[in-house]
Structures are given as C-alpha cells and as structure tokens.
A and B are shown apart, each in its own frame.
Chain A
Amino acid sequence: MVQRLSADVVVIGGGSTGVGVVRDAAMRGYRAVLVERDDLACGTTGRFHGLLHSGGRYVVSDPQSATECAEENAILRRIQPGAIEDTGGFFVTLPGDDPAFADEFLAGAARTGVPAQEIGVAEALRREPRVNPGIQRAVEVHDGSVDGWALVWGAARSAQEYGAQILTYHRVTEIVRDGDHVAAVRCRDVRHGEDVEIACNFVLNCAGPWAGQVSAMAGCEPVAVVAGRGIMIAMNHRIVNTVVNRLVYPTDGDILVPAHTVSIIGTTDVKVNDPDDTRVPAEEVQQMLDAGEHMIPGFRTHRMLRAWAGSRPLIKDPRVSADDTRHMSRGMSIVDHSQHDGLRGLLTIGGGKLTTYRLMAEHIVDAMCEQLGDERPCRTADEAVPEPHARLHKVTDRLKAREESRTDTRALCECELVSEDDFRREIEAHPEASLDDVRRQLRIGMGPCQGGFCSLRAAGVACASGKVDAEKGTKLLTDFIASRWKGVQPILAGDQVRQAALDEWISQGTLDVEHVPASTQGGVR
C-alpha cells in the first residue's frame, strides 16, 4: 500500500539547507514537502561546532564568503535570535604564529565589510583569562554561537505555518522520471514501514554530503561530493565565554566555541568516501588536545564530555559551470541537472555553511523560480521565525527558569536543567520520538553524566505518559545509552572515565538493563 501525496516541490534533506529551502519555497507560495531519512539536523547540521560566523575566518582566504557571513550573521540575529547566543569572538595571534597576518586580516575585514577591531592583548586577556598569555595580537569580531537544532526546528515550524509538510524518518528510495522531467519522489517511511510517493514538478536535492547518493536515485551521474570529515570535542564548562579563533590562515584545530554550558573545540578535515563515516580517530582527538593546549594552557587537564564528527558537504563537480555562477557563491554550488543530465526539474546544491543557510536557500529557490518562469521574490530575511522568546539566548536562561520553579518541578536532567514537565510535553507531542530526538529539542543527556542518570527517568516518564509501552520504553533507554556511549568512547580520559565507569555501574550493575526482557525491535543505528 503506497501513500500518495502531491506537491509543487519536494526538498530532499532535513539539514539547515533543506529546511531553509522548504521555508523559502513555502513562503513564496509553493506547496512544498521536505523529506529526511532521520530526524531534522542529524547530519552535518547537528555535527558542527556551533559557530555563528562573523565572517572573520574568511576575510583573507575567501572574501565573498566573508561578506556573506557578515550579512547573514546580522540577518539571523534578527530573524532567529532564540537560537543564537551573542558571545562575540576574538582572533588571537598565538606564540609562533605570524603577527603580521593580523594586518592582512584587518585589511581583509575592511574590504569585505566584516566588523573587526584590534584590541589590546591585556584587554583580551582580561576578558578571557584562560587564553594563552603569550598571545601577540587580538582582534574582536561579531562571532556568536548558534544551536543548530533550535535554528533548524525554528525554520521548520515557520515553514509549516506556511503550509509546508516536513516528513522526518522518510528515506528517499527513488526519484521518478517522466521522460526528461522529474515526476515524483518515492520514500520509505522507516518508522511505519510504509512507502510514500510524492508527485511533484520539482525536486531540490539538499542532501549535503549525501547529495551524490540522491542524484543517483534520479538516474543521473552522481554529483561528485567530497566529504571532509571533521571532529569536534565538547569540553565541560565554558572554558571561554567568547569564541576564540586562531589568527592564522584557516587550519585544523583553530577554534574554541562556547556553546550552552560547554566549550567546543574543532576541527579536523579528513577526506572520506562515505559521509556516514563519522568515526572519531584517536589521533585526531590528540591533535585537537594539542591545539587546545596551545590556545588554552592546561587544556589537556580539562574534562572532555564527548566527541563527534561531521561531514562537510563540498561539491567538486565539473557540472558546476560558468552558467551557474549567478546562483553561486564561493563555497556554495548548484548543479542544474537539465543542462548536464538531460533531466528537468532537479537542482542539487552543495557546499555552504550553517551561517549562510538562508542565503543558500534563497539562491536555489531563485534558480527554481527562474526555471519555472515564476516571479516570486524571497522574503525569508524579512520575517522572523516563530520563537518562544524573541531575543538572543543567554547561557543563564535555563538556570534562571530552574531557580524560579525549583521546588515545584522535578529536574529530569540535572546536568542540562531539563524539567520533567518539559520532557513530558515533548514526548506526549511526539510519542514516536527516540530519546535522541528529544535530546535535540531539550538537551537531555548532553551534560557531564551523558545520560547516566536521566536515561531511566526519561524512559519512565515516557511509559507513565501512557503513550509508550514498557517494551518501547526499554528500547528508548537502551538506544539512548548506546548512542551516548558512542560519543564518550573516543574521549575516555580523566573524570570522564570515572563517569563512564559510574554510568556502566548504574545501567548494568544496578539496573541490569542487559537482562530486561529483550525488545523485539532492532538496535540503534
């Protein structure tokens, strides 16, 4: 039995690009459906360091990206403030780095319109006392930190208000052609084991590093994606409250981002063939720790909480030709499959960065409008997305809320101050959600104990809600334990080893979850 839907445009991929695209298309009046094989923002978008670029990073290496970042940074602060913390950023010349690069940097910033101002070393160290006291120069920029999940879900809700449909856990199996034109997208609803066919005029392939696999489903020569894997490590606490960048030509391990209650160091760049290859090799962890130690003396003695890897969505495809450049920025590329594969109604977009996700969406939807002969201007920069609090997020927001309700509500996740009530509302609204899905909404299990204490509570509240039976509740529990371990296992050192031993003791020693009657369903992905 195949469920049939129809739309003007099907957007493939639920990362920041796809969600930006579906919002843009819906705001321009298209009937739009987004399909995503997992939850939203599970791929590259959920696996980055959380930096809202000021543009500073690109003022020398990539001036056009620098300007775009600066402009989009200002737009996102306006339209999605609740996903952003205004941390500000420093570029610092570390001992051994060339202090003259700062001059090149400042000149580049002036040329590209990226706000940047040199400040005294003493002033920089006063504001960030943990930074290497041997820094030679410091430049202040408008970096921020951004919660990729909050950003994407905000845009998704906005899209839904404009009538878009967001189908998560729908894996594309085929892009159906009718002669030389796209006719439909077939998907598998992986949660319910059903097939869905969405008839459409247009398909926008926003699958990021998976774009090659998606283009092949339309019978096209696969788009050549170069997946560059980078690792990130979340360090316990805010080692810095300002984004700290190394003032050098962009390289590995050159940024430390304060995000929520942690600091995230990134990143490496290793070419991989499979975008699902998100291993965190031990040598890359050591590389990050060395880089961190250089930036923050004593970094190695800090507690690591977790590591993860994401794939950059770079496209190096000969079909990205001169004809496409008006729709292209440096770092973003659009492949028009009508020109290269004789298939009309399919565009692929690659490259880009989270900070410019809205602009990428504007470009590709512009390209679609042009092919359809529609005059429908982009409005995504003009209208804020619906958010509970229309102001920039602060790291203290949760603590403040918890302080106010401390005696009346229970903390389900003490590390991240998630209340039982918030969790219950989330699971009742999304009874099919995994705890990892809920984590991306509420941050359960993201603190020092990595789910050691809250996993059982969460599974328990889900069962008590009546929406989840004990078998499913147990699967929620065991899947979450497994997915949390994945991020802890590569960085076992110091206090996180103690934590891992304690968590093992709780789940196996005390609760004996290994011997709860087995689930009939499969394990974690």
Chain B
Amino acid sequence: MRTVVIGAGLAGLTASIRLLEAGVDVTLVSKGPGGLALSQGSIDVLGYRPSRVTRPLEVLGALPGDHPYAVLGTATVRESVSWLGQRLGLVGSPATNLQLPTAAGAIRPTALAWASLAAGDVRDHTTFAVIGVQQVKDFPAALIAGNLDRTVFDGRELRAGFGLVDFEARDGEQDPSPVHFARALDDAATRRRFASAVAAAAGTADVVLVPGIVGLDDPGAWDDFVAALGRPAAEVAMQPPSIPGLRMFQRLLDDARALGLRHVQGSLATGFTHEDGRITGIEVASAGHSKHIRCDAVVHAPGGFESGGLGVDSHGVITERLFGLPLTVDSLAGLTEPEVGAPQPLFEVGVLVDADMRPLGLDGPVHTNLHVAGGILAGAQRAREKSGDGIAVASAWRAAESILGGAR
C-alpha cells in the first residue's frame, strides 16, 4: 500500500509515523517547514470552554456535535495524545492540564509539554524570577513578571520579579533570530556562560523562567543548563519561530525518516487524479516539472487559513485549496466581527468529516480513500480554546487507523 501525506505539521507527521510503524509506504509532501514552528512545544487538548479547563478528557464529551472532538471521541484523543507524549518523552497527560506561563505573563493551560516548559507549572510554584535577555526581543521579562505578579491562581497570589542579562550568543550580534540564539546554546561552553549570566541575575525565587531558546538540536542542552544554573528553572515558549516547537518538528521528522519516510520537501501539491471515487495520485510541483505520485490512500493535513490550506479570494469566496472540498461555509460574509474580543466564526470554517476522517459531501465521503486531519477540520476555535494539537494528533491517528484497517 502506498500513501501520500500532505503537510508536515503535527497532523501530517503523526499520520506518517503511524502509517510507517505499520509498515506502510509513506510519501510526505510539504510546501514549507510545517506548522510546528508555531507550536509552543506543548500538546494542547482543551484549555478553555470558555472558562479554564483543568481536566480536559472529562469535558470533551460535552462539546457540541460539530466539534472535531465530538466526531473523534474521548478514547481516541486519550490514546493518541498519550502515545505521542510517550514517543516524545513529554511531561503530563491528556487527563490533566499543566498551567504554564506565557511570554505575555498569562497562565496557559496545556496537557503535555517538554520537561523544560512543564517545569514552570504555576501549580508547583509561587515565586518566579523572570530573566530576560537583551538580545531576545520576544521575551518581555518586565511585562511577564508584572503580569504574573498580579495573578491570583487557585487562590494563591503569585509573586514575580524580573532581571535582564546582556548576552551575545554570537559575537557582536544584537538582533539574532531565536534559531541562531538556540543553536549557539547547543554549544556546551556558550551554554554554561549563559547559565552563569542567568544565575547572577536570578534572585531567590522558587523557579527561574528563561526564554525558550536553550538549545535546538542538542537533546541534553536543557538538563545541562539546569545543572549549571544549580536551581529549578523553566523555559517559556515565545512567538514564532518557536524553538520548543521546532524541537518537536525535528524529533518527529527524524523518527519518521528512521522508519523509512520519503519526504518531498519544498513542493506544493497542486492537483490529483481520481477514478471511481478514489484518489489515484497526487500532482506535485517540483523544480522544472510536475511530478505525479501514485497512491492508494491520502492523508490531507495542510492546516487551515494560517497555512493557506483554506483560503479566501478577493470576492470573499472561501475554498479548500487542493481538492476543492466542501466547506461548512463558503462565503466570508458575516464570518468576522470588527471587535477583536469575540471569537471570529471564520476560524471555525473547514471540512466536515465522517468517523474515518473522510471529507463529507452531500452524498457521503467525497473520495473513499481521502482522509483529512488537523487544522483543516471545521468546528473549533483552536487559538482561543487551545485545542489544535489534540485535534491534529487524534484526527491523524484516526485517519491512519482507517487506512490501516480499511475504511469502515
């Protein structure tokens, strides 16, 4: 069996690994580096509904029927997210949310996270030393500390102060990208120098919060940093490019490659061939010519509006880019509000699916061997409710399961 997976985000990589583990041939087609650079390095299941959720699995069953979780079911979410957590060695479980500080000083619920992030859980600490780096502009230590300091969490008044270190990760560079900074900290000597600078600024709090840039490729970087610092510390994820998210991308891609993944990178899927209601191949734009990849099944995980998987033209017509799949709504009119406070209905637009993650038209599945996963699914306010990762993992898991078991 030959499968094509489209999209190198959390959903595409999850589907690829599940299929590869079962011995299926997978070609992953991706236009860019995938969506994980936007991830926090954590796995959200459900954070708000709309009030703060502490035990996500207990409330999934109560979501409205058009929510992806209602189609996926609690058991699939539990099983798939737990599997991913174990594979990556994440801290936490889908049953209970961690409560992690953000780079704006909010407390963000998420289910699992890299140990370096989970160490900042406000359920475990009351006093925080937020240590910024002059050269890392996406980690506003004064604002983070100020907001934590005026937070009452579970009846506990948090306390936070901030410090600032001047640290050139590369000589003479005042405006490094987070990727360059993190790579510089993959070097043990640079990392120790950084740890001493942080230690000197950190005061006496329960936990030291630093920007999420302590190493990119070296999996031992964080433990080594904490050992050098000599006290409890945690990373805080920043706006893209998110280093903890990129670590996750790299790990999953490495795993998939080790299992035999064929990866067609930097290539946009531009079309498809089909016969008797089945997809027979995917057209891929590559340098100088178009390539046709024959397949027996497809997992389409291109993301939603942020990636261009879903789009709106200048006339306000909403479309699914590749297959022209039916969407819950196909006109922009009335889907956005001028006020920013409320969720924008636009971001819930997407594809409706059956239990096998096959896009539904009026007469059932559009193609019997086409499955979708991740941000393209309709019915969730992922950014507001913090549900995108769980939807991606569970839908990819289910899509792979359907391909392996034969669609029901």
Interface positions of A (Cβ within 8 A of B): 282, 286, 289, 300-301, 304, 406-412, 420, 453, 456-457, 459-461, 463-464, 469-471, 473-474, 477, 481-482, 485-486, 489-490, 492-494, 497-498, 500-502, 504-517, 523
A/B interface sample: 13 pairs, CB < 8 A = A300-B313, A300-B314, A409-B174, A460-B143, A464-B140, A470-B147, A471-B146, A490-B338, A497-B305, A501-B304, A501-B305, A511-B103, A512-B107
Contact of A464 with B142 at beta-carbon distance under 8 Å, contacts A494-B311, A513-B104, A515-B106 already known? yes
Q: Per-residue 0/1 for B229-262: is the Cβ within 8 Å of any A Cβ (1 yes, 0 no)?
A: 0000000011110100000000000000000000
**Contacting pair A457 B137 (CB below 8 A):** yes
Contact A464 B164 (CB under 8 A): yes
CA of A463 to CA of B150 in the docked complex: distance in angstroms?
Answer: 14
Taking CB atoms, residues of chain B closer than 8 Å to A410 are 135, 137, 174-175
- Would you call the interface of chain A mostly helix, strand, loop, or mixed? helix
B145 CB within 8 Å of chain A = yes
- Contact A282 to B333, CB < 8 A, known contacts A411-B175, A482-B339, A504-B383: yes
Complex Cα spacing A304 to B316, Å: 13
Does the CB pair A510–B242 fall under 8 Å? Answer: yes
Question: Does A469 contact B304, Cβ atoms closer than 8 Å?
Answer: no
A460 touches B108 (CB 8 A): no
**How far, in whole Å, are A477 and B143 apart by their CA atoms in the complex?**
10
User: Interface with A: B81-89, B113-121, B341-349, which one?
Assistant: B341-349
Known contacts being A412-B137, A474-B143, A494-B311, is A514 close to B38, with CB within 8 Å? no
Chain B residues with CB under 8 Å of chain A are 38, 40, 48, 52, 102-108, 132, 135, 137-143, 145-147, 149-151, 164, 172-175, 237-240, 242, 304-308, 311-316, 332-333, 336-341, 344, 346-347, 382-384, 386, 388
Residues of A within 8 A of B172 (CB): 407
A452 to B362, CA, bound (A): 38
Nearest-neighbour CB distance to chain B for A19, whole angstroms, equals 29
A453 vs B132: C-alpha distance in the bound complex, in angstroms? 18
- Give the residue of A457, A470, A492, A509 whose beta carbon is less than 8 angstroms from that of B336: A492
Q: Which chain A positions have C-beta within 8 A of B237?
A: 510
Is the pair A493, B151 in contact by a Cβ cutoff of 8 Å? no
Contact: A489 with B337, CB < 8 Å?
yes
Tell me the smallest distance from the CB of A421 to a CB of chain B, in Å: 10
**Given A286-B315, A514-B106, A516-B104, 19 new contacts (CB under 8 A):** A282-B316, A300-B313, A407-B174, A459-B104, A460-B137, A463-B142, A464-B143, A470-B105, A470-B149, A473-B143, A497-B346, A498-B305, A508-B384, A509-B38, A509-B383, A510-B237, A511-B104, A515-B48, A515-B107
Which among B135, B305, B307, B333 has the highest number of chain A CB atoms within 10 Å?
A: B305
- Chain B, Cβ-Cβ closest to A289: B314
Name B38's closest neighbour in chain A (CB-CB): A505
A513 → B minimal CB distance (Å): 5
Instruction: List B contacts of A286 (CB < 8 A).
Output: 315
Contact check, A457 vs B140: say whether CB atoms are below 8 A apart.
yes
Interface contact B313-A494, CB-CB below 8 Å: yes
B340 touching A485, Cβ below 8 Å:
yes
Task: Check if B338 sits within 8 Å of A460, measured CB to CB.
Answer: no
Residue in B closest to A457 when the chains form the complex, CB atoms: B137
Q: A282-B316, A301-B314, A497-B305 are in contact. Are A512 and B106 (CB under 8 A)?
A: yes
Residues in chain B near residue A464, CB distance under 8 A: 132, 140-143, 164
A301→B384 CA distance, assembly (Å): 30
B135 A501 Cβ-Cβ under 8 A = no
- Cα separation A482 to B344 with both chains bound (whole Å): 13
Instruction: Name the CB-closest residue of B to A465.
Output: B142
- Inter-chain contacts of A481 with B (CB < 8 A): 340
Report the separation of the CA atoms of residues A516 and B148 in the bound assembly, to the nearest whole angstrom. Answer: 8
- The chain A residue sitting closest to B381, CB to CB, is A508
List B contacts of A300 (CB < 8 A). Answer: 313-314
Top 3 closest A-B pairs, CB basis?
Answer: A460-B140, A470-B146, A509-B383
Instruction: Write the chain A residue with the least CB distance to B313.
Output: A493
A489–B48 Cα gap in the complex (Å)? Answer: 25
A82 to chain B, nearest CB (A): 26
Inter-chain contacts of B105 with A (CB < 8 A): 470, 474, 516
Chain A residues lying within 8 Å of B164, measured Cβ to Cβ, are 464
Residues of chain A with a CB closer than 8 A to B143's CB: 456, 459-460, 463-464, 470, 473-474, 477
- Chain A residue at smallest Cβ distance from B346: A492
Determine whether the beta carbon of A473 is less than 8 Å from that of B38: no
Contact A510 B40 (CB under 8 A): yes
Contacting residues, chain B, for A473 (C-beta < 8 A) = 140, 142-143, 146
Given the interface pairs A457-B140, A511-B239, the reply to whether A407 lies near B336 with Cβ below 8 Å is no
Closest to B337 in A: A489
Closest to B152 in A: A517
Of B52, B149, B340, B386, which is within 8 A of A509 by CB?
Answer: B386
Which B residues touch A505, using CB under 8 A? 38, 306, 382-383
Distance of A516 Cα from B386 Cα, bound (Å):
15
Complex contacts, A510 vs chain B, CB 8 Å:
38, 40, 102-103, 237-240, 242
Q: CA A411 – CA B308 in complex, angstroms?
A: 27
Bound-state Cα–Cα, A457 to B178, Å: 14
Known: A486-B338, A492-B332, A494-B314. A517 touches B386 (CB 8 A): no
For the complex, give the distance between the alpha carbons of A197 and B52 in Å.
49
